[in-house]
Amino acid sequence: MASPQQPYTDEPPNFEDGQYAQDGTYQQGQRAPAAGAAAAKKKRGYAGQAYEFGAGPNAALGGQPAGGAGYPGSPTPAAGNYGFPGQQSAPQQPSYGMPQQTQYGDPNMQSQPAQPAYGQPQYGAPQGGYEPPQAAYPAQGQQPGVQGMTQQFQQMNVANQPQGAPAQQMRLNPLQPIDISPQGQGFHVTDLDQPPPPIILPPNSSVTPSPHANCPPKYVRSTLNAMPTTASLLKKSKLPFALIIQPYATLHDSEDDVPVQYDQVIARCRRCRTYMNPFASFLDHSHRWRCNMCNLTNDVPQSFDWDSVKQQPVDRWQRPELNYAVSEFVAPQEYMVRAPQPLIYLFLLDVSYAGVTNGLLATAARCILESLDRMPNTDRRTRLGFMAVDNSLHYFSIPRDGGESNDARMLVVSDLDEPFLPTPEDLLVNLTECRANIETFLGKLQGMFAQTQNSSSAMGSALRAGHKLISHVGGKICVLSASLPNAGYGKLEMREDKKLLGTSKESSLLQTQSAFYKSFAVECSKTQVSIDMFLFSAQYQDVASLSNLPRYTGGQTYFYPAWNAARTEDAIKFATEFSDYLSAEIGLEAVLRVRTTTGLRPSAFYGNFFNRSSDLCAFPSMPRDQAYVVEIAIDETITKAYACLQVGVLHTTCNGERRIRVLTLSIPTTQNLAEVYSSADQQAITAYYSHKAVERALSSGLDAARDAIQSKMVELLQTYKKELGGGNMGGGGLQFPANLRALPMLFLGLMKNLGLRKSAQIPTDLRSAALCLLSTLPLPLLIQYIYPRLYSLHDMPDDAGLPNAETGAITMPPALNLTSGNLVPYGLYLIDDGQTQFMWLGRDAVPALINDVFGVEDKSQLKQGKTSLPVLESEMNERVRAIVEKSRDHRGKGCGSIVLPPLYLIREDGEPSLRLWAQTLLVEDRADQGVSGAQFLGMLREKVLS
């Protein structure tokens, strides 16, 4: 068997209406009527009682438009009618994602119906030009087709095309300048539900008319969906060119509909090693194919049209690699330098006083026990190992089932510097062969350390010993720790100083305290060992240092501050997440490489992995709930009408199969700056700068990171104004393309995020854990973490919280902008950033609402802080619970995640610290000494005009 130290490569070794008016008819404590007219009547009751109950003149304060002072494009919320008998509700605007006036900001023109341009779902429609994109993409008030496009470009003073420009340039996304200031067509949260600007490729770009020929954005998103042909144009645009790569969209293969090619016939370019894909072309009576990356002509493999299992010819045009931009191959023998490794979990359990008394040991043992059936073990090769650590190392030798002894033996080693490894053969045991004895051992584990008074933790030494135990095979070390490593290797000091928080010296606390953690992580990566950290301390635990272990080994840091199993919500959160973690079908001994059209190259990589060479990212295990960013440089002028980028991930599946996942993305090229801007993806750009900000925070400090984000926003607005005539629109306007309307608010959300916000109230561990999330979360969860979701529950539409008649999915209420202008004093709201949920109860909430949702008459009886909703025989309670659960369900967002966000109940007139915590999520407010959204835009405008 070849050593795992040999570098893996993907080469073979040989080269998202109803109002409550006031009629006061609702009876307190009455069973909620059915949805429809009766439900609406009940809602009116909440509002009427709010007015009578003591909202008084305050009720008028809630009647502002939804967007607060500056959102004329926003709907008037239902809540705006509270306390105003007979007032009519404002009709809802037809579309937030579209400009409500004419194309180029002429205030005298009539508003047009919302057009399907930017944000039109194009994925799933044939990408290769099989449906003429002009027809699907008319500009407002313009003729469809090329002629209409020309009219637009003339209006934008960009009709003069450079000589030799590809003809398809006339069909790319048209620029839609709008006024993004609060007085104009400012940001509305629904902008975040728009898909990216469509990728419009020339006709017949792909070799088959498949609707799946180009990569869906849930797997790969480009910051630019029209790419500059030259480095100088890219530099002039000031926009980044990068890919946001999420190789997996789910935690389990059964939910991820990617075709698998089992015949082991893999066609690749001889020169650049690109895999055959829908954008290759065939020549010479289809005997040869031309690589779409480097143009080299290659022979088609002899077995390409032959089914070796059925021993009959096959129709090549049905082959997955020619019809699907995302496909997977089963790799033949030559893609392996050794036999595919089995799935190995080594559990490092903290048995110090802190780890035992907070219930971590007992909860973890029970959770592993109950998850044994969920662990991937199709090939019956999965192996488990257990180690415990306090000031000594405790190994557990578990015999096979059916032997003379069924009891595990504990072997204690107190030498922390050079611990010897006792009998390694029965420390890593086969799950199938030792199942009964593993269950017995896990049942007794808590009792072994129940009386401990030992407060030491030699976790660094335990990690070294654990690495020695599994390094010959590779695998995953799962660390569950409730204390600071304070003995042996990698010993850490208690260094948090509250006087430094919020100062320029705070950044020193975000640095690694000991060089051991990074160097050890790199050593683990070389031997295919990945580390996941589950951290539970009530005290300082130095997440900044410990998170290096997952960062360089393809793992993740999961942080549970002040966790205690005696609190039901804590125990359920961890048990649910840990069980999902153990069942996820991770990829083992994986490498990722990005190949590009000649003239392009990957230039920088961001995420949790080890960058083994200039273009190879190594993952001892590849999780299914992380995303990665690869920046692309333009080295030579691109003369093609479109460029291709291909991501290849070679990995071993949990059931021992070596596979290659291939994701191919084609992007049209352009010599026109307006088309670059009109095709820019605001969410992908935010993800890119999220990674850059984390890097800057760790190297130069938090101030530098925030300054860099703000400077980049100013630079983009200045560039747009200078290069594309986005001048002052008069009356304090600020021009930017419609497709980038959300960018300033996303950047503000990033600057106000827990990881980067200027504050003296954020503990270092909490900040470090937030920085880990900012650099690993899949894009849908990252955007929600930066700009959380706010839902109004007391006046939600009649169908909200109920299953959709067609899909069965729970209907969510419309999301609101994150401003206190949207919170009425008698309202009930849900704020959710994907990691934590807040149930906000207004100070004037009526007893009827409180009773319906929480089952108590008086809000003072409600438990504040971390809680769970009671299950009541009330329609309102059922609907609210359904919305909370739906908001927690990350599968519907197009990504996998094990996270179960805890729910905190916040009373507006309750605990001040809890209230402030929730208010810091209101990005467009000034909470915690920040700037409001309107102030931020005003500041940007001043800088742009200066």
pLDDT block averages, 10 residues each, the chain of length 946: 50 38 32 45 57 37 34 34 31 35 34 35 32 30 34 36 40 91 89 94 94 96 97 97 96 90 92 96 94 96 86 90 96 88 96 95 97 94 96 93 83 80 79 94 94 93 94 95 92 88 85 92 96 94 96 96 95 96 95 97 95 89 95 96 97 93 97 96 98 95 95 96 72 85 97 94 94 96 97 95 92 96 96 97 94 93 94 96 94 86 95 93 86 93 89
Q: What is the DSSP letter of 426?
A: G
Write down the H helix ranges in 372-502: 435-448, 459-470
CB 488 within 8 A of CB 390: no
Q: Considering only CA atoms, which of 216, 210, 180 is closest in space to residue 198? A: 216
- How far out from the chain centre does Cα 912 lie? 30
Backbone φ and ψ for 608, nearest 5 degrees, come out as: -90, 95
**Beta strand segments in 553-680, E:** 557-559, 587-596, 600-606, 610-613, 616-622, 628-634, 642-652, 658-670
CB 828 within 8 A of CB 816: no
The DSSP code sequence of 510-555 is GS-S-THHHHHHHHHHHTTEEEEEEE--SS---HHHHTHHHHHHT-
Q: What total of structural domains would you count in the chain?
A: 1
For residue 282, give the H/E element and its range.
strand 281-283
**Beta strand segments in 718-857, E:** 735-737, 789-792, 815-816, 828-832, 837-841
Q: What is the pTM of this model?
A: 0.84
The pLDDT value given to residue 615 = 85
Spell out the residues 6+ positions from residue 407 whose beta carbon is closer than 8 angstroms to its own. 399, 437, 440, 441
Torsion, CA 861, CA 862, CA 865, CA 868, rounded to 10: 140
Alpha-carbon distance 615 to 604, whole Å? 9
Q: Is residue 24 part of a domain?
A: no
The pLDDT value given to residue 169 = 43
Alpha-carbon distance 708 to 716, whole Å? 12
Task: Report the phi/psi class of residue 815: left, alpha or beta, with left for phi > 0 and alpha for psi in -120 to 50.
Answer: beta
The pLDDT value given to residue 166 = 42
Backbone φ and ψ for 783, nearest 5 degrees, come out as: -65, -40
Alpha-carbon torsion (564, 570, 576, 578), positive or negative: negative
Torsion, CA 788, CA 794, CA 797, CA 802, rounded to 10: 80
Domain encompassing residue 518: 344-501+512-583
Q: Is residue 364 part of a domain?
A: yes
CB 852 within 8 A of CB 794: no
Q: Please tell me whether residue 796 adopts helix, strand or coil conformation.
A: coil
CA angle 133, 136, 140 (to 5 degrees): 120
Q: Is residue 608 part of a domain?
A: no
Backbone φ and ψ for 643, nearest 5 degrees, come out as: -115, 155
Q: What is the DSSP letter of 156?
A: T
Tally Cβ neighbours within 10 Å of residue 827. Answer: 26
For residue 580, give the H/E element and its range.
helix 568-583
Backbone φ and ψ for 605, nearest 5 degrees, come out as: -130, 135
Alpha-carbon torsion (606, 607, 612, 615), positive or negative: negative
Q: Is residue 489 part of a domain?
A: yes
Q: Which residues pair with 642 in a beta bridge?
A: 668
Q: What is the DSSP letter of 810?
A: B
Q: Is residue 460 part of a domain?
A: yes
Spell out the residues 6+ positions from residue 276 whose beta carbon is closer than 8 angstroms to its own. 266, 267, 268, 289, 321, 322
The pLDDT value given to residue 766 = 95
CB 12 within 8 A of CB 334: yes
The pLDDT value given to residue 891 = 79
The pLDDT value given to residue 848 = 93
Q: Is residue 188 part of a domain?
A: no
Alpha-carbon distance 686 to 785, whole Å? 12
Q: What is the CATH classification number for the domain harbouring 527?
A: 3.40.50.410
The DSSP code sequence of 61-120 is HTTS-TTGGG-TTSPPPGGGGTT-TTPPPPPPPS-SSS-SS-TT--TTSPPPPPPSSTT-
